[in-house]
Amino acid sequence: MKDEIRKHMRKKREQLSESERKQASKQAARWLETLLKEDMLIASYRAFRAELEILPSAKGTWCYPRVLDETHMEMIVPDDFRRGRYGIEEPIGKSVDPKQIDIILVPLLAYDENGYRIGYGKGYYDRYLKKCSALKIGVAYCFQKVADTWPHDLDVKLDLILTPAGITRV
């Protein structure tokens, strides 16, 4: 079932025009801005496969994921970026302590009203989120909400969902 949802949501995202994606990304970023402060460490991601693209604001220090191996990632304050293992841009720079992150933006393919998500299925984010005490924010288009994500013991619950329409506590 999760694989069917993944496939369906990827297709729906990819059907959006470039203009629609940019507009939705700008709207979501405006909502996010209301949560940010100058002294925050914000973990984000580089948009991939038509994900919402949250560009760094002037507030806070921003870091991004780098895949270490088949199961783990780390967050890096970037000096530069290069193509990584899955074709996603990854940062080159200094690693950050997961406990120092204030907000972590989490990409997803689907989410439910209880704050659980369906990602790409490798578990990188769930393993990393267990190390963080950060505010966990799933980033999604409004149409990515589903009735159930069938969470299991390894899944980590999100605190908020950020969409172009606003921020929802879950």
Q: What is the pLDDT of residue 78?
A: 97
Q: What is the pLDDT of residue 57?
A: 85
φ, ψ dihedrals at 134, nearest 5°: -65, 160
Q: What is the pLDDT of residue 85?
A: 81
What distance in Å separates the CA atoms of residue 107 and residue 124, rounded to the nearest whole number? 11
Q: What is the pLDDT of residue 87?
A: 87
Residue 86 per-residue DSSP state: T
Q: What is the number of helices (H) and of strands (E) in the chain?
A: 3, 10
Asked whether the whole model's pTM tops 0.85, one would answer yes
Percent helix, percent strand, percent coil in the chain, to nearest 5: 25, 30, 45
Task: Kindly write down the DSSP assignment for every residue of 99-144, as one continuous string.
Answer: GG-SEEEEE-SEE-TTS-EE-SSS-HHHHHHTT--SEEEEE--GGG
What distance in Å separates the CA atoms of residue 117 and residue 110, rounded to the nearest whole number? 6
Q: What is the pLDDT of residue 65?
A: 97
Q: What is the pLDDT of residue 83?
A: 93
φ, ψ dihedrals at 162, nearest 5°: -105, 120
pLDDT by residue for the chain (170 residues), tens digit each? 999 999 999 999 999 999 999 999 999 999 999 999 999 999 999 999 999 999 888 899 999 999 999 999 999 999 999 998 888 999 999 999 999 999 999 999 999 999 999 999 899 999 999 999 999 999 999 999 999 999 999 999 999 999 999 999 99
Q: Burial code of 48-69, b = ≥16 C-beta within 10 A, e = fewer?
A: eebbbbbeeeeebbbbbbbbee
What distance in Å separates the CA atoms of residue 72 and residue 43, rounded to the nearest whole number? 15
